[in-house]
Structure 1
Amino acid sequence: MQGEMFCFQCEQTAFGKGCTKIGVCGKTPEIAAMQDLLIYQLKGISCYATKLLEKGEKIDKSLVSFVENSLFMTLTNVNFDPNSHMDMLKKSQIMKEEIRKKASDEKITGAEALYNLSDSKEQILIDAKKAGVMYDEDLDADIRSVRETIKYGLKGIAAYAHQARFINYNSDEVDDYYFTALAALTDDKLTLDDLIKYVLKTGEMSVNVMAVLDKGNTETYNSPSPQKVNVNIKKGPFIVISGHDLRDLEMLLEQTEGKGINVYTHGEMLPSHGYPKLNKFTHLVGNFGGAWQNQQKEFDGIPGCILMTTNCLMKPRDSYKDRIFSTNVVGWDGIKHISNDENGYKDFSEIITKALELGGFEKDEEVKEILVGFGHKATLSHAETIVNAVKDGKIRHFFLIGGCDGARSGRNYYTEFAQQVPKDCIILTLACGKYRFNKLEFGEVAGLPRLLDIGQCNDAYSAVKIALALADAFKCGINDLPLSYIITWYEQKAVADLLALLSLGVKGIYLGPTLPAFLSPNVLQFLVETFDIKPISTPEDDLKQILG
């Protein structure tokens, strides 16, 4: 299998074209092959499921959950464990046979539907070649490009839907759409125009699922409110929790309460400090480290434990491989995985014991605090102040600067841009892109903090709610607002976020640090012409273009 892979789903893909020997993320050709074949199986399952949906039959939620987890598992930097992939492939065949029986009176052709998984790993890896992105050399480049865009949007949606389902929230419309869209990716009769409709529909489903997750998080943990978070360390044993799943954090906080263990958030878990039902725990003491791509350096030999709940996981160094744990669909060969029981409960006793053994940090650092918790409810509670400040000329412009961060050097653009934003403008930020500048001092304007952290990547929904409410207040369209989107993308959740914004008709988004390799020149041209998407240039030139 060595050297026989092709993956271009993330922003750091080799030479901006595709990873062919090993993934820049650390994905091996073997993992790449199994992920390709797992998606191939999902497409096959979906060919049967759509026939049942067309007849008005409901699809079992256990199958929906399996498809969702499989999509999420193949997202960048989530799972690198061959055994987990083999387990999911075997399950996919069982699921396929079950749904095939249910749709037995339907005439279904197509390689993905008719394929059956082999019993031997060796044959599975050979079969995986036909599931590769570039296997069909005769496929029109634009068709391939749009199909891949839909697929990556689905992976992003699955990540958010997985989070929502874990706290018992879901959208039946999104659940059914997985099957409809995956089956469409196998349909050679669909034209480019047909597939572009699916691209925009995927954006609609992304808005839908973010609304569901927002509802789930705010109803379960109350709406975020502004909170100061210490970004330096405290003395004592500790666990660092990374990722996005608030339910995992809640269970960890419940199980560590009164045990003398400090809990730090990391990466995209930082916004959880804004939720009242989580920040009531006094041993949730702060946030550790920066964005996900610094984890190898920051976790190097730390005297505590790490829990990875969702992406982004990098190859653990030997200095902390014995103290990093994974859960949900996250995994790396040789690290401990914590599963949930049938009620969703997880037993964190092993990680707790290990954290106590390690002893933790020896002394407190000086407290340094940053502000989080400006979700749509908190921000819009100041709507009157904001609207009046704009009308009075005190606030000139809003910039949404955020998205998925990564290691590429060109990403200092986002720090420089934030620093150069004039003092009479407000910066909204979300996702891990904010780690480029969220520890800098931005001061206030019109009595409001100039930097408003509105949350995780899925809180692009908060940005949309804020924008729509302001458009309503100013009695104008969303594109007439003094609001610009400066988006950084890395993986497939960013694809779902971008498609969500496009489906709402948002135009003029600045996208960087590079454009996706999976966009063919013609598809890119279509997006530029239809939505005025702009590749970033320099902060100076882009600011000049925006502010005039």
Structure 2
Amino acid sequence: MTTNRMFCYQCEQTANGKGCTKAGVCGKDANVAALQDLLIYALRGLSEVAVEGRRLGIVDDGVNAFTIRALFTTGTNVNFDAGRFPELINRCVELRERLKEKVKAAGGKAEYGDGPATYQPAKGIDGLIEQGTKVGLLSDTSLNPDVRSLQHITLFGIKGVAAYADHARTLGHEDDNVYAFIHEGLAAMQDKGLGLNDWIGLAMKCGEINIRVMELLDAGNTTTYGHSVPTKVPLGAKKGKAILVSGHDLKDLEELLKQTEGKGIYVYTHGEMLPAHGYPGLKKYKHFYGHYGTAWQNQTKEFPAFPGPILMTTNCIQRPRESYRNSIFTTGPVGWPGVTHIEGYDFGPVIQKALEMPGFDRDVEGKSVMVGFARNAVLGVAPTIIEAVKAGKVRRFFLVAGCDGAKPGRNYYSEFVEKVPKDCIVLTLACGKFRFFDKELGDIGGIPRLLDVGQCNDAYSAVKIAMALADAFKVGVNDLPLSMVLSWYEQKAVAILLSLLYLGVRDIRLGPSMPAFISPAVLDYLAKKFNIMPITTPDQDLKAILG
């Protein structure tokens, strides 16, 4: 394989805050970057045909499922295995041509001209990489920079939507409106006639659709596993064999719990899997014990000490160290070259590895944390919360949420939470909470001051809580005693931010840096319309919020 220049700026830690041009800060090399760019290009062509198909009432479920899974593989920290992409690219073109025949037979468009809808893959991975270098994010030099910025905001938001849609589909929940928008948004990238207002509209529509897809995922999680309940999760360990599960996918976790039952193996969560302990349908397994480690970016420090295999279920994988390379497994959209990949739900190899490895040789005492404060749990005590606000016992709510990362500036979030006054409540979700998830913040009249709403996948819960409180106080969301202080890292966060903007939420503080793909003019527009602003210091921001 040949190494070629790349350009990627879809994550917060992109090189120098501008873009990765030799290798990704995330760990992907230029070859993987080119193959991912080529897959996106091929998906744009498939989407053109899918849009034409829908116009004629032709909807292909295989195309829908493939689109979201393929998009998911191009997200940050998901699939680094170059060998997996040629199959995806060729499959994309096969699906496109098959759908074209159906469309043509129904009297639809038959000719598409030069571009992604007629693209033909090169033979061999080197040829594909070469093709990929010509269709990257900056390949169209004729684009207005602000149009490009809005295109990329929409593209990265669509990647986030696709990830959530993939999770929801796994649990049997889907809506063709979601697939229709994804295809519409990708196909629109070929339309040279679209201007700034058109792309602002598509970005806002992405936010609207993301609310729907998060609602589907919430329904999938709660109908399958029950509503989360407040649950104490130990951070220590039990003597015995052990498996660590990271990522987000609850179905993978459930299947592993079923297959390990009665085998003397304890299953632990890592990273975004922590909230899984709050679901009745999962916590019923007696060998589902506790949580190990913190956020995704610390795995290379924490995984070497874990005495069992590690299963990565979705995004968040980093380059595995040699010390645990033979005991880490991937499944679903995740991939790393040389790491064993599990297709489907047969976790026999993971279980066998757990039985071979030593496990914990003794019980390890540790702290515990509380999870399970999703919308059902919080709204169940809404009258108590409302009364506490009216009585002046609770001055303000802070949603301190989002993705974590390795930048030193992210210490802002832990310092911010520590400095939040004792008459305020902090709601949190996603892996950003690992900066402060084990802090003892106490309670206000029995209401914990730190409420863990769940994964980034559970952002719908936070939205529903805010809307329910606004309804109870008979005010708009922006008039609530609620401030949002968010951290972002990758494309799911982009989708969530677009959802908040679609809902008209103002005064969001965002950090640790503003996205490199937002041009100065687009940032100025967002600042004027939504008063979105960068974080400064905890003291400064708290003073500005609380007066």
- With normalisation by structure 2, the TM-score equals 0.98
> For each residue in 1:53-104, what CA deviation from the matched residue of structure 2 results, as whole angstroms up to 9, or x when unmatched?
122x132111111110111000000000111111111111211211222233
Deviations 1:189-221 (A, max 9, x none): 111101100000000011000000001100000
Residue 332 of structure 1 and its aligned partner are, at CA, apart by 0.3
Counterpart Cα distance in 2 of 1:408 and 1:61:
41
* CA deviation profile, 1:422-452 (whole Å, cap 9, x unmatched): 0000000000000000011000012200000
Amino acid at match of 1:289: G
The residue type equivalent to 1:541 in the other structure is Q
Q: State the Cα deviation string for residues 141-174 of structure 1 (Å, max 9, x = none).
A: 0111000001100110111111111111111110
Q: Secondary structure at the match of 1:299?
A: helix
CA–CA separation in structure 2 for the residues paired with 1:398 and 1:250: 33
Aligned to 1:374: 373
- Per-residue displacement from partner, 1:497-538 (whole Å, max 9, x unpaired)? 101111111111000000000000011111111111010000
Q: What residue number does 1:25 align with? A: 26
- In structure 2, runs of 5+ residues without a counterpart are none
Give 1:2 deviation, angstroms. Answer: 3.1
The answer on whether the counterparts of 1:50 and 1:183 sit within 8 Å (CA) in structure 2 is: yes
CA distances 1:29-76 after superposition (whole Å, capped 9, x unpaired): 000000000000000111111111122x13211111111011100000
Which residue identity does 2:82 align to in structure 1? P
Using the alignment, how far apart are the partners of 2:216 and 2:232 within structure 1?
27
Question: Does the aligned pair in 2 maintain the 1:164–1:216 contact within 8 Å?
Answer: yes
Q: Residue 290 of structure 1 aligns with which residue? A: 294
1:100 aligns with 2:117: no
8 Å CA contact 2:225–2:279 kept in 1: the answer is yes
Give 2:46's aligned amino acid: I
Q: Determine the C-alpha separation between the residues in 2 that align with 1:58 and 1:93.
A: 18
Distance in 1 between residues matched to 2:348 and 2:102, nearest whole Å: 42
Per-residue Cα deviation, 1:223-253 (whole angstroms, up to 9, x for no partner):
0000000011221110000011111111111
CA distance in 1, matches of 2:10, 2:114: 25
Determine if contact 1:303/1:358 at 8 Å carries over to the other structure: yes
Partner of 2:64: 64
99-108 vs 63-72, which moves further? 99-108
CA contact (8 A) 2:4 2:133 kept: no
Shift of 1:138: 2.4
Contact conserved, 2:484 with 2:508, CA < 8 A, in 1? yes
Q: Is the 8 A contact 1:467 1:478 kept in 2?
A: yes
Is 1:269 the counterpart of 2:273? The answer is: yes
Q: Could you tell me which amino acid in structure 1 is paired with residue 49 of structure 2?
A: Y
Answer whether contact 2:488 2:511 (CA < 8 A) is retained.
yes
Q: 1:232 aligned to 2:231? A: no
Separation in 1 of the partners of 2:346 and 2:133? Answer: 39
Q: What is the match of residue 383 of structure 2?
A: 384
Shift of 1:368: 1.7
Greater shift after overlay, 424-433 or 300-309? 300-309
Q: Indicate if the aligned counterparts of 1:236 and 1:360 stay in contact, CA closer than 8 A.
A: yes
**Structure 1 residue identity aligned to 2:471:** D
> What corresponds to 2:347 in structure 1?
348
Mapped to 1, the partners of 2:124 and 2:376 lie a distance apart of 53
Q: Which residue of 2 aligns with 1:324?
A: 328
Q: Distance in 2 between matches of 1:214 and 1:416?
A: 31
2:211 aligns to what SS in structure 1?
Answer: helix
**Residue equivalent to 1:83:** 83
2:55 matches 1:51: no
Aligned to 2:394: 395
Contact 2:53 2:99 in 1 (8 A): no
Task: Return the alpha-carbon distance in structure 2 between the equivalents of residues 302 and 224 of structure 1.
Answer: 27
**In structure 2, what is the Cα distance between the partners aligned to 1:23 and 1:416?**
29
Within a 5 Å distance, the mapping from 1:157-168 to structure 2 comes to 157-168=161-172
Name the CA distance, whole Å, in 2 between partners of 1:181 and 1:102: 22
The whole-number CA distance in structure 2 between the counterparts of 1:324 and 1:146 is 38
Contact 1:3 / 1:20 at 8 angstroms: preserved in 2? Answer: no
User: Does residue 179 in structure 1 map to residue 183 in structure 2?
Assistant: yes
C-alpha contact (below 8 Å) 1:79/1:330 kept by paired residues: yes
* Corresponding position of 1:411: 410
Q: CA offset at residue 176 of structure 1?
A: 1.2
> Partner of 2:116 in structure 1?
112
Q: Could you tell me how far apart the structure 2 residues matched to 1:50 and 1:108 are?
A: 13
Q: CA RMSD in A?
A: 1.0
CA distance in 2 between counterparts of 1:301 and 1:483 reads 40
8 Å Cα contact 1:3/1:22 also seen in 2: no
Matched residue of 1:422: which SS?
A: coil
TM-score, with length taken from structure 1: 0.98
Q: Which residue of 2 aligns with 1:305?
A: 309
Q: Is the counterpart of residue 250 in structure 1 residue 249 in structure 2?
A: no
Q: How far apart are residue 459 of structure 1 and its match?
A: 1.3
- How far does residue 129 in structure 1 lie from its aligned partner after superposition? 2.2
Q: Does 1:439 align with 2:443?
A: no
Query: Which amino acid counterpart does residue 364 of structure 2 have in structure 1?
Result: E
In the alignment, the residues of structure 2 paired with residue 221 and residue 280 of structure 1 have an alpha-carbon distance, to the nearest angstrom, of 10
Give matches, 1:423-502, under 5 Å. Answer: 423-502=422-501
Contact 1:301-1:319 within 8 A present in 2 as well: no
| Cα distance, 1:130 vs structure 2 | 2.3
* Alpha-carbon distance in structure 1 between the residues aligned to 2:133 and 2:253: 39
* Structure 1 residue matching 2:22: 3-state secondary structure: coil
Deviation at residue 266 of structure 1 after TM alignment: 0.5
Partners of 2:197 and 2:342 lie apart in 1 by: 44
Residues in 2 aligned to 1:432 and 1:110: alpha-carbon distance in whole angstroms: 43
Indicate the residue corresponding to 1:343 in structure 2.
none
Q: Helix, strand or coil for the counterpart of 1:262?
A: strand
Contact 1:271/1:372 (<8 A) preserved: yes
1:337-392, Cα deviation, whole Å (9 max, x unpaired): 1111xxxxx11111111101102011111142110000000001110001111001
Do 2:483 and 2:507's aligned partners in 1 also have CA atoms closer than 8 Å? Answer: yes
1:530 aligns to 2:529 (yes or no): yes
Q: Which amino acid aligns with 1:249?
A: L
CA contact (8 A) 2:86 2:128 kept: no
Kindly indicate whether the alpha-carbon contact (under 8 Å) linking 1:242 and 1:308 is maintained by their aligned counterparts in 2.
yes
Give the equivalent residue in structure 2 for 1:121.
125
C-alpha separation in 2, matches of 1:414 and 1:109 = 50
3-state SS of the aligned residue for 1:239? Answer: strand
Amino acid at match of 2:22: K
1:338 pairs with 2:339: no
- Output the CA distance in 2 between the equivalents of 1:186 and 1:212: 29
For the residue of structure 1 that corresponds to 2:326, the secondary structure is coil
Using the TM superposition, give the Cα deviation of residue 108 of structure 1 relative to its aligned residue in structure 2, in angstroms.
Answer: 2.5
Tell me if the contact between 1:458 and 1:497 (Cα under 8 Å) persists in the aligned partners: no
By how many angstroms is 1:295 displaced? Answer: 0.3
> Does residue 1:143 correspond to 2:154, yes or no?
no
Paired residue secondary structure (1:486): strand
Q: Give the whole-Å Cα distance in 1 for the aligned partners of 2:85 and 2:245.
A: 24
Partner of 1:505: 504
Provide the secondary structure at the position in 1 that maps to 2:186.
helix
Kindly tell me the number of residue pairs found equivalent between the two proteins: 542
Are 2:525 and 1:517 aligned? no
How big is the shift at 1:3?
Answer: 4.9
Deviates more, 1:310-319 or 1:299-308: 299-308
Of stretches 349-358 and 486-495 in structure 1, the one that deviates more from structure 2 is 349-358
